[in-house]
Amino acid sequence: MAGIVKITYSGQVVKYIKDMVLKGELAPGDQVKEAEISKKLDISRAPVREAMQILINEGLVSSKPQKRKYITALTSKEIIDSYFTGGVLEAAAVAKSLDAYLAKDIVRLEKIVEKMHDLADSDSRSEQLATLDNHFHDVLFSRVDNQLLIELCRRSCQEISKFLLFRYWRNLFSVAEVYSRHKAIVDAIKNGDLVELEKVIRKHYNDSGLRMSRYGIDKIDLTNKGINQD
């Protein structure tokens, strides 16, 4: 049996389930069996139930009356909607903070983008690109003086769609595409172009949502449908 430290047991159960999702051992729509997890980790059912509630609150696990708990399965439209919403919110947040970005922030963003470009020949580039993408958006949020807006941005897609479908997300774009998509945002910030900045960030998210939509539970590819970027 794989025992765990019981001081923070519910949190470790949460991590265990999330790791299973990231590894593809639990896919959207799969049932999450509390008894099986309890036996696997050699703990009582109480911390597992507590972990389930945490994941339900985060949106990563769903539960319906008279039905068992399962990994949240998003439709193609729900994926697109989550990314569209994330793009609108992040674009507004970053644009509102445009005057707050310092020269050192732009340098940090440029270094991240250059590292993305340099990963073309790396065998582990998908994992590294995912890390760099997170760092990039962290820098963008670092000058946003509205914690609620930041949380809404992250929850709208990064903590649900991106996490649940991470194994697809990390290979959505080529290295060249990843580089150009992020460089466009940096260029808009450097130029102080408020309108262009909002446009490129919304397009950044909309393009991701459209490509991710093919992995919805209903497997409808909406790539060619397009979304109004204005």
DSSP string, 22-61: HTTSS-TT-B--HHHHHHHHT--HHHHHHHHHHHHHHTSE
Interior/surface letters 25-45, b for 16+ CB within 10 angstroms, e for the rest:
ebebeeebebeebbeebebee
pLDDT score for 6:
46
Provide the residue type at 136 as one letter. F
Residue 81 has what pLDDT? 93
pLDDT, position 91: 97
Amino acid at 116: M
User: How does pLDDT run across 166-188, given as a tens digit for each residue?
Assistant: 888 878 888 889 999 999 999 99
CA distance 36 to 43: 10
The span from the CA of 126 to the CA of 24, in Å, is 16
What is the distance between the alpha carbons of residues 208 and 215, in angstroms, rounded to a whole number? 12
Residue 124: CB atoms within 10 A of its CB come to: 8
Please give the pLDDT value at position 229.
45
Where are any strands of DSSP class E within the chain? 61-62, 70-71
Residues 186-204: tens digit of each pLDDT = 999 999 999 999 999 999 9
Q: Which domains does the chain have, with CATH numbers?
A: 9-71 (1.10.10.10), 76-215 (1.20.120.530)
Q: Enumerate the β-bridge partners of residue 31.
A: 70
Residue 60 β-bridge partners: none
Q: CA 69, CA 32: separation in Å to the nearest integer?
A: 6
pLDDT on residue 230 = 47
Q: In 160-196, which positions are buried (b, 16+ CB within 10 angstroms) versus exposed (e)?
A: bbbbbbbeebbebbebeebbebbbbbbebbeeeeeeb
Q: Which of 87, 65, 38, 45 minimizes the C-alpha distance to 199? A: 87
Query: Which residue stretches of the chain have pLDDT < 70?
Result: 1-7, 66-67, 120-125, 158-159, 221-230
